[in-house]
A and B are shown apart, each in its own frame.
Chain A
Amino acid sequence: MIHTPMGPAAPSPRPLPSPTASPSRPARQSTGHGQDSISSWPLMDRVGYLLCWAAGLLLCALAAGIVLVMFVKGISYLRPGLLLEHPSASQSQSGSGGFLDPIEGTLLLTAIGIALAAPIGVAVAVWLSEYRRPAALAQAVESGIEMIAGAPSVVLAFFGLLIFARPSLAFLSQTSAGGAVYGRSFFAAGAMMSLLALPLVVSATREGLAQIPAHMREASYALGKTRATTIRRVLLPSIRPSIASGTTLGMGRIIGDTAIVVILLGASLHLEGAGGTPGLSTLRGTGSTLTSYVFENSPAGEGNAPEKAYAAAFVLLMMVLALNMVVTRLSSGKPRWLAGLTGPMLWRWMPWRD
């Protein structure tokens, strides 16, 4: 006799469930997170849940609001001509020209900053991740990088002023008729800007290096390659996306910074070269960027031309958004949320994950 453990009232054998033909429905399908329904929670918990939604929606609304405002204002004040005209000093808003020079200034400054930050940042990151001898020095360098990441750009700008106003560095910036060194130039601003990007490049590179499995290094050593060769031939090529993402984030920081520009670049309307050599003279000269243009044309600045400020800010935001999209593409599929945004030494705060 055949029984189920339930006793005599054995149900007749039923067809086996098969994946395609659903078995004895109603089957209970779980919705993934459907462990406990919110309606069963105490009121306090439900309030918290609603607050979470509110917070998430608030963030979305803020972002949407900023983009929307800038689009509406930007498009209504932006004429194509503005992008191609040189600015001119004028009391009236209509007479103050376009912002060709600030756009050039932004591009130039970003190029200088990133050209300095990328190689230095990669070098530091490689040393910190692959060599770190002596350990105490590596720790000190790490905290140094962290300090740079935390240092406000106003302070960096002031420090830059101290460096580049030295007479021995006069060849890098403008000199007044009397021989006083101003310490203000594209080169000076670019050098300080590179410090803004440096921590981002370092952290992105280190994160990339940390994700390379040990066996890749070992495989290379097993082929008789030295560590230096391994780094150059195996490690760096395979973390190219990480380096690119860090560099792009760094460019975003440089483009968006105002304090260094207004203090170290002089924020003159035009790109004003210094000295005779073409090219080099621009580097030694002063100028402005979109950020300083917006600042000076805001009610707080000297220009006070809000429409121009809106238009320039719109162009600036477009550049930032474009860089943002690049970063999003580069970091898609990264395990970490907002990889790169979270600062240089984030992994330290989550020691339990490894």
Chain B
Amino acid sequence: MLRHSRWQRLNLSAERRAELALGAVSVAVLAFVVAMLVTVFVKAWPSFAHNGYIKWFFPGGDVDQQIKAIVNSPPDPAHYVYHLRAWPLLWDTALTTGIAVVLGLVLSVLSAIFIVEFAPQSMKRILEPVVRLLAAVPSVIFGLIGILLVVPWINQHLISQGRKLSVSYVVQLNGAGLLVASLILMVMIVPIMVAITVNALSAVPNSWTEGSAALGVNRWRTMWRVSVRTARPAIIAGAVLATARALGEAIMLALVGGSRSFPVNLLDGRTALFEPVRPLAATIITYKDNLSVVPLSQTLYAMAAVVLVSTAALSLAAWSVKQPLKRYGIRT
């Protein structure tokens, strides 16, 4: 009763109250996101600050040893160890993500064209649950299959003894590494790209594809020059979303990346494919048990902040992708 009268005094109708309540929930979600950004950065700041900000991202030394030193820092806050040069982790992140996204883009565009244009009805019916399934398989299962089946297979069949010996003075090759990590990562991000591309391709107006057919252009070229071209912003947006997902993937990469942080050396040629990788997110998972060590937790928060900023930046980048559509007079 009291509450009722108070509302009345505020002169709020039921209508207005509903709007305010729903709005409040939405704003709370927004506030939560902002809080997340701010606190993660505050927590991460000491790690950046002690390493001279930009130098945090530079190459220099073995990350695993640096982290070990951080874990073993003395309990006195004045003597915390923070030294870290995270370049190997960043490089591995970029490499795995880049390979996975590029390969995934090719695979997803081809299969989306297949689904939209060329697949017989029966195949089309099969492919929807197939893609849905690939999207739903938990990353830990991908990792498990990777480490128990794919890694031993690669170790036995693809890496020759000579190749192992050639780099044995820097790194042990056991099958876990760049190749298997990027391939499995690609399988994990392909479904979302396929789904977005399929929807975009089938949303291309019929009049354009029909107009192309009426000019005597075959279906493949019509698909390629009209549909894919029109759907390009959506395809890129899909790739961007997929990149964000790949950047944040931790569990699978912690399983199949090999157990040490090693900057893959592209100069090794094909051997580089088998060298171990450990991207940022996977590193966070690897050291999750030492979170009670303050400087280490701050270091890990710094890594989390880098991942968070990259994914947020990708979201922003995706926004600008739709600009070309405006150029063609299509209102967004």
Contact = CB atoms under 8 A, between A and B. Distances in A.
Interface of A: 33, 35-36, 40-41, 45, 48-49, 51-56, 58-60, 62-63, 66-67, 69-70, 120, 123-124, 126-128, 131, 133, 137-138, 140-141, 143-148, 150-156, 158-159, 161-162, 198, 226-228, 231, 252, 255-259, 262-263, 291, 294-295, 298-300, 306, 309-310, 313, 316-317, 320-321, 323-324, 327-328, 336-338, 341-343, 346, 348-353
A150 B237 contact: no
Given A317-B137, A324-B136, A346 B40 contact: no
B148 A58 contact: no
Given A258-B140, A328-B128, 4 more contacts: A62-B134, A143-B315, A144-B34, A338-B198
Contact of B107 (A55, A226, A227, A294): A55
B82 interface: no
B171 to A, nearest CB: 18
B183 to A, nearest CB: 10
B145 A66 contact: yes
B137 A228 contact: no
Nearest to B187: A62
A286 B22 CA distance: 33
Given A52-B118, A55-B111, A349-B234, A228 B18 contact: yes
A256 B199 contact: no
A337 B195 contact: yes
Interface stretch (B3-11, B48-56, B269-277, B284-292): B284-292
Interface stretch (B69-77, B83-91, B161-169, B250-258): B250-258
B265 interface: no
Interface residues of B, number: 111
B300 interface: yes
A151 B26 contact: no
A256 B132 CA distance: 14
A320 to B, nearest CB: 5
Interface of chain A, helix or strand or loop or mixed? Answer: helix
A154 B291 contact: no
Nearest to A300: B255
Contacts of A148: 29, 33
Contact of B30 (A40, A140, A309): A140
B36 A350 contact: no
Contacts of A348: 237, 322, 332
B192 A256 contact: no
A184 B205 CA distance: 52
Nearest to B148: A306
Contacts of A324: 129, 132-133, 136
Contacts of A350: 199-200, 203, 231, 234
Nearest to B249: A152
Nearest to B325: A351
A298 B255 contact: yes
Please give me the 5 A-B residue pairs with the lowest Cβ-Cβ distance, nearest first.
A152-B248, A256-B138, A228-B18, A55-B110, A127-B22
A156 B21 CA distance: 26
Contacts of A56: 110-111, 114-115, 119, 123, 127
A60 B30 CA distance: 39
A298 B307 contact: no
A241 B118 CA distance: 31
Contacts of B198: 337-338
Interface string B213-231: 1000011110010000011
B205 A158 contact: no
A158 B111 CA distance: 37
Nearest to B137: A66
A67 B145 CA distance: 11
Interface string B194-207: 11101110111100
A255 B138 CA distance: 8
Nearest to A337: B198
Contact of A316 (B141, B213, B218, B245): B141
B138 A320 contact: yes
B96 to A, nearest CB: 14
Contacts of A36: 213, 218-219
B114 A154 contact: no
A313 B213 CA distance: 49
Contacts of B314: 150
27 contacts: A40-B218, A45-B220, A52-B117, A55-B107, A56-B123, A59-B194, A133-B19, A137-B27, A138-B26, A148-B33, A152-B249, A154-B307, A155-B304, A158-B301, A162-B43, A228-B19, A262-B288, A294-B141, A299-B147, A320-B137, A327-B132, A336-B199, A338-B198, A341-B131, A341-B191, A350-B199, A353-B203
A343 B255 CA distance: 26
Given A35-B219, A56-B127, A259-B251, A352 B119 contact: no
A291 B138 contact: yes
B330 A352 contact: yes
